[in-house]
Chain A
């Protein structure tokens, strides 16, 4: 009888673990748990509460959200493409949007397997669907930002005839949008228990190279040409060198830019 202990052993209170770096767990804030019901909410969540988007991408049934993000990305890149096409007008009004939307989606698709591999190698437990969702979020943020730049790009495209200048301007806008998109992707990546970011940074270099090369592979986007695809294969550095060295690069009639 004396062997029974009337006083139960004291259990220490459970202290929730805080991940390294002091970052909060996704879903700690009740706002992050609110579902994203429509496209407008998705845009708002991505711009104002990216953590809500990251949390929702981990929930079952995130496929609809991913599909919505891809739809927005395609729609926004088509709209930005029309603005790009206004520089040359004519057939470029439909060719440029198609090439920009297709190029962006193909670049992302080509780079998705290596992103997943680098994520796994970094020790992350993120599933392929979550990585795909984060990539779709990156594309959506990029293309929304491009829409924001579109009026400025349109004004310049109406007031200059220089292909080199317009090409550089679009590249700058794309680069700024990409930086913000990659910031979102990195934030999502750091919530997946990755031990190191080295693999992610390597992938960023690969993605940038693929995306930039895609603009050369699908040229002309800004200028005009007789054929939809270029007849000559070139790496982007050689192509940019040709553009800068060419005196004809100052006019709208210059092809393959």
Chain B
């Protein structure tokens, strides 16, 4: 079973989705470049398709941009936090090497991207049915509904990926408490970096009043947390 589990097969992604912790932990123990390439490909295709569906409402060019930006955020977050995540794991009681923590996080993002990819036809259908984006629609119920459904789908994908990651960590560490601590630390770091990357790479849905562009001209002016702080200040000052 050990040898068979190390070979790539056509059920690779469905095994990940089912969360077969036994098989996945065997995959996680040894570095397999082919498997990593497959998982990265799923992230690029799945998140890319979802991004395209999301950006299509504004403009086909925006769809192309978001198709590039969405997987880019996932991959940059994974790479950017790989060192600190690998350090957190042993400090919090899970003694695994760098490659294991890295592949575990890639696997969780692969699951999320596969779910996003599967929902992309539904999002595209919803966008096709929505009235064209305009200042009126942005202030209306349609825009809020589209935003809400996008948040719900991304939340579902993210939560599922993290539930499967938790199951894998519990298997590797032999303790749910350790798995919870490590997952919490990893999630905090990924959310922190991921939010800022999303801020830099905005827009995603796009505003009808602003031109279609890959980056806003103010992309690197300020950061996500400064903006949240300023918004809170405005609320309390008013």
Interface residues of A (CB under 8 A from B): 109-111, 113-114, 116-117, 120-121, 123-125, 127, 206, 210, 213, 216-217, 232-235
Shortest Cβ distance from B5 into chain A, in angstroms? 15
Residues of B within 8 A of A123 (CB): 18-19
Q: Is B150 an interface residue (CB 8 A)?
A: no
Residues of A within 8 A of B187 (CB): none
* Contact, CB under 8 Å: B131 / A210: no
* Contact, CB under 8 Å: A120 / B17: yes
In the bound complex, CA of A235 to CA of B11 (Å): 37
Would you list the 6 A-B pairs with minimal beta carbon distance, nearest first? A120-B17, A113-B118, A117-B118, A110-B121, A233-B131, A120-B14
* Contact, CB under 8 Å: B122 / A210: yes
Among B13, B18, B19, chain A packs the most CB atoms within 10 A around the CB of: B18
Q: How many B residues are at the interface, by size bracket?
A: 20 to 34
* Contact, CB under 8 Å: B129 / A114: no
* Contact, CB under 8 Å: B129 / A216: yes
In the bound complex, CA of A110 to CA of B122 (Å): 6
Q: Is B114 an interface residue (CB 8 A)?
A: yes
- Kindly identify which residue among A111, A117, A206, A233 contacts B130, using a CB–CB cutoff of 8 Å: A233
Among A111, A116, A120, A235, chain B packs the most CB atoms within 10 A around the CB of: A120
Instruction: Given A216-B129, A233-B131, answer yes or no on A121-B17 (Cβ-Cβ < 8 Å).
Output: yes
- Which chain B residues (117-140) contact chain A, with CB distance < 8 Å? 117-122, 125-126, 128-132
Q: Which residue of A lies closest to B49 (CB)?
A: A113
Residues of A within 8 A of B129 (CB): 213, 216-217, 233-235
- Kindly identify which residue among B119, B130, B145 contacts A114, using a CB–CB cutoff of 8 Å: B119
* Contact, CB under 8 Å: B121 / A117: no
Not counting A111-B121, A121-B17, A124-B18, a sample of 7 additional A-B residue pairs whose C-beta atoms are within 8 angstroms of each other reads: A109-B121, A111-B122, A117-B114, A117-B115, A123-B19, A206-B122, A233-B132
* Contact, CB under 8 Å: A114 / B160: no
* Contact, CB under 8 Å: B114 / A210: no
Residues of B within 8 A of A111 (CB): 121-122
Residues of A within 8 A of B160 (CB): 121
In the bound complex, CA of A216 to CA of B145 (Å): 17
In the bound complex, CA of A208 to CA of B14 (Å): 25
In the bound complex, CA of A84 to CA of B14 (Å): 41
Q: Is B196 an interface residue (CB 8 A)?
A: no
Residues of A within 8 A of B100 (CB): none
Instruction: Given A120-B17, A121-B160, answer yes or no on A113-B128 (Cβ-Cβ < 8 Å).
Output: no
Q: Which residue of A lies closest to B126 (CB)?
A: A213
- Kindly identify which residue among A113, A120, A216 contacts B121, using a CB–CB cutoff of 8 Å: A113
* Contact, CB under 8 Å: A235 / B142: yes
In the bound complex, CA of A161 to CA of B13 (Å): 53
In the bound complex, CA of A120 to CA of B160 (Å): 12
In the bound complex, CA of A83 to CA of B113 (Å): 43
Instruction: Given A117-B115, A233-B131, answer yes or no on A210-B125 (Cβ-Cβ < 8 Å).
Output: yes
Residues of A within 8 A of B117 (CB): 113
In the bound complex, CA of A237 to CA of B11 (Å): 40
Proximity string of chain B (139-167) to chain A, C-beta cutoff 8 Å, 1 when within and 0 when not: 00010010000000000000010000000
